[in-house]
Amino acid sequence: MSGLQMQFANGTIVTPDALLNGATITIDGDRIVSITGVDTRATDAIDLAGGWLLPGFIDTQVNGGGGVLLNDEPTVAGIAAIGAAHAPYGTTAFMPTLISDTPDVIAATLDAMDAAVLAGVPGVVGAHIEGPWINPSRKGIHDPAKFRLLDDAMIELLIRPRKGRVMVTLAPELTDPASIARLVAGGVIVSAGHTDADYETIVAALAAGMTGITHLFNAMSPLLHRAPGVVGAALDDRSAYCGLIADGLHVHDAALRLALNARPHDRLMLVSDAMPSVGAVDKDFRLQGRLIHVEDGKCFGEDGTLAGSDLDMAGAVRNLVARTQADVPTAAAMAATYPAAFLGLSHERGALAPGLRADWVALTADLRPAGTWIGGRLVAGPLAIQGN
């Protein structure tokens, strides 16, 4: 694939420095070499039809897809199936996410992630272990029978050298700053979620090296004027990265706008929190023995509790633009550039720029997915070629 040139015409290409009206992207292997103007005489340009070419989306919270739940299949095949289900929706990198489970399943998931990276499974860049070190009072759909305190044995497992990034979601009030600092020193990305912590506890956790807030507003202590809670600490802080589930169900439109107005945009990330229903024909599924029903994009248990989402990343971008009036470049950065920075991957992903991976997604003018490239290879699409 050395020196391959790809022409894109009749659309907007979003780069870190400019919005281009068409472009020629030269790639070598799986990397972008240059991005220059489009040759208007070219007859083999890919016609964006008034749409967009954006950096490939990076999803830090993907529980499942294509009928597969990571908890049920913590294997290379399971991870590959989840990635394949999300690729048509513009996801070019993802963190397969384990919902609270036993130490054995956590270990199996991390080993499977290593093996998936070594095997070259497209898009997998690490693993997100969400719980079981979370607060029962903010459990959401997680099974409290799986909950446990963070101990030395688990810390040792989590900080073991890995082939990809390791992210954990925990309740800071159920551990201590020293343990958080130990995880961070071992290369783990720590995020607060499913937590009833007060403002001061979150501040202390951030000082210890925690850098994330998992699905802001959901499953956490709310902002009250005398008790700012997790939400207040997150909105007050200028450094932590906050995930947002922009599906119109998890977070009210006004709360989305509040987050955009209150925090630096480069610390906000769109996440799917996707369940096996994404990319699946049969939407309903089981989560640790419990039936989860999916209807009108909503996943919920028999008691009505939200159980992740039926959201994909292209839908998250589309919803953010429609519900907050954020522009497309901002939404694209929240889906690609800022998650890459959070994961420490800005040197290879998250933007259309020379030296970075040739990962991108084409969206139609109304922000529907039209084609996805991973490492310069079309994995979903294709788009029309002018003259054909």
CATH of the domain at 294: 3.20.20.140
In terms of Cα–Cα distance, which of 249, 258, 129, 106 is closest to 194?
A: 129
In this structure, is residue 188 part of a structural domain? yes
Burial of 267 (0-12, 13-18, 19+ CB in 10 A): buried
Q: Where does residue 143 rank: exposed (0-12), middle (13-18), buried (19+ CB within 10 A)?
A: middle
Domain co-membership, 150 together with 9: no
Report residue 241 as tokens. 């990265």
| Residue 256 belongs to domain spanning | 57-342
Q: For the chain, which residues score pLDDT lower than 50?
A: 1, 386-388
- Is residue 9 assigned to a domain? yes
- Domain-embedded: residue 386: no
Give the residue carrying structure tokens 């009749």.
10
On whether both 97 and 132 belong to a single domain, the answer is yes
Residues 207 and 315 in one domain: yes
Same domain? 45 vs 78: no
Measured at the alpha carbon of residue 289, what is the angle toward residues 283 and 295, in degrees to the nearest 5? 25
Task: Find where tokens 């991957």 sit.
Answer: 345
Whether 234 is covered by a domain: the verdict is: yes
Residue in the block written with tokens 């800005």: 346
Do 34 and 148 share a domain, yes or no?
no
273 in active site: yes
Instruction: Name the active-site residue from 47, 198, 247, 273.
Output: 273
Looking at the fold, whether 42 and 88 belong to one and the same domain comes out as no
Tokens at residue 372, please? 């996805």
Shortest CA distance to 319 belongs to which of 268, 253, 225, 222?
Answer: 253
How far apart are the C-alpha atoms of 216 and 302, rounded to whole Å? 24
Strands 298-300 and 290-295, by their bridges, are antiparallel
Q: Residue 385 domain-assigned?
A: no
Same domain, 175 and 254: yes
Whether residue 212 sits in one domain with residue 140: yes
Same domain, 261 and 210: yes
Q: Residue 362 falls within a domain, yes or no?
A: yes
Tally of structural domains, the chain: 2
**Is 223 in the same domain as 141?**
yes
Q: Is the pTM of this model over 0.95?
A: yes
CATH of the domain at 48: 2.30.40.10
The reply to whether 187 and 296 lie within a common domain is yes
Spatial CB neighbours of 96, under 8 Å, sequence gap ≥ 6: 62, 70, 78, 79, 82, 83, 109, 113, 124, 127, 128
Give domain status of residue 335, yes or no. Answer: yes
Task: Tell me the DSSP string of 305-342.
Answer: -EEEES--HHHHHHHHHHHH---HHHHHIIIIIHHHHH
Are residues 361 and 262 part of one domain? Answer: no
pLDDT at 383: 72
How confident is the model at residue 196, as a pLDDT? 98
Residues 266-311: pLDDT tens digits? 999 999 999 999 999 999 999 999 999 999 999 999 999 999 999 9
Q: Look at residue 172 and give its three-state secondary structure.
A: helix
Cα Dmax for the chain: 64
Task: Please calculate the CA angle 151-155-158 and round it to the nearest 5 degrees.
Answer: 140
Looking at the domain assignment, is residue 227 inside a domain?
yes
